[in-house]
Amino acid sequence: MIKNIYGAKFRELRKQQNITLTKAAKGITSKSTLSLWENGKDNLSFNQVLELLKHIHTQPIEFIENIISSDLLSLSEKIHLAYVASDTVTLHRYVIKKRELSKNIPKIMIYFWNTVLPVCFIKI
């Protein structure tokens, strides 16, 4: 199963608006399935997620941009720390991981990997 970074963000947004699991899930999925997804223990279809976003009054693009931005920030910090520490093993692992994931990630991540990682390896 691919790491579920979306469920946790959905839960955060749902709770900010004081929307219950039952209300958010109504007509889309069960309360228990939604809870599992929010806690990273299950996956939902793309269409289900789109419908759930309507229930919490969130546009899909806002939801995705927010997650990608925080994920990119976290990743760039890890790469920076590895670079500053001259940790070539960790940097190499990021390159290998990039190759494995490149077919399954959004274009913004591909752009990130292709622009940031080469810069890190210039001095190596």
Each residue's pLDDT tens digit, 44-65: 988 899 999 999 999 887 887 7
pLDDT tens, position by position, 89-121: 988 888 887 777 666 555 555 555 565 555 445
CA atoms within 13 A on the CB side of 101: 18
pLDDT at 36 over 60: yes
pLDDT at 12: 92
The count of other CB atoms within 10 Å of the CB of residue 110 is 14
Q: How many degrees, rounded to 5, is the angle at CA 57 between CA 110 and CA 70?
A: 30
What mean pLDDT is predicted for residues 70-92? 84
pTM, two decimals, is 0.57
pLDDT at 1: 42
What mean pLDDT is predicted for residues 77-90? 88
The count of other CB atoms within 10 Å of the CB of residue 98 is 16
